[in-house]
Amino acid sequence: MTLSIQEISDRLEIQDLLVAYSHAIDHHDWDALDAVFTADAVIDYTEMGAPRGNLTETKAVLASVLPNFPSYQHMVATTKLTFDGDGNPHMMFCGLWYRDTFVRTPDGWRIKDRYEERSYLRDFPG
């Protein structure tokens, strides 16, 4: 299979977009999501317990919910773990798929629609 230069470029840009999403979430940089989603994006996290909403609503939900989790790991991003003392161990494994619709904008590729499909959720208290 021979890919055009444009298709190769598009694939790399979309991969970068997914990494940018992961880094924004993992580093609580909610404003960085403005460069990931379109202004009119619809983001649906209902299968994992969060609401469906627009970008502004989603950023507010993420800012209020994610600080309750001590760490995260996105498989398309790098992982950094820092341990500082002992605590009550508690681990949750969430598996999911993102079903995305991408659009090319004057500012590059963006996600216009995201549906988070739950695969599994395991909660292991200490």
Listed residue (12, 9, 25, 10) closest to 96, CA to CA: 25
Q: What is the pTM of this model?
A: 0.70
**Helix ranges (DSSP H) in the chain:** 5-26, 55-65
| pLDDT per position as a tens digit, 3-50 | 678 787 887 888 888 889 989 998 899 999 999 999 999 999 998 888
Question: Which domains does the chain show, CATH number per domain?
Answer: 5-78+89-125 (3.10.450.50)
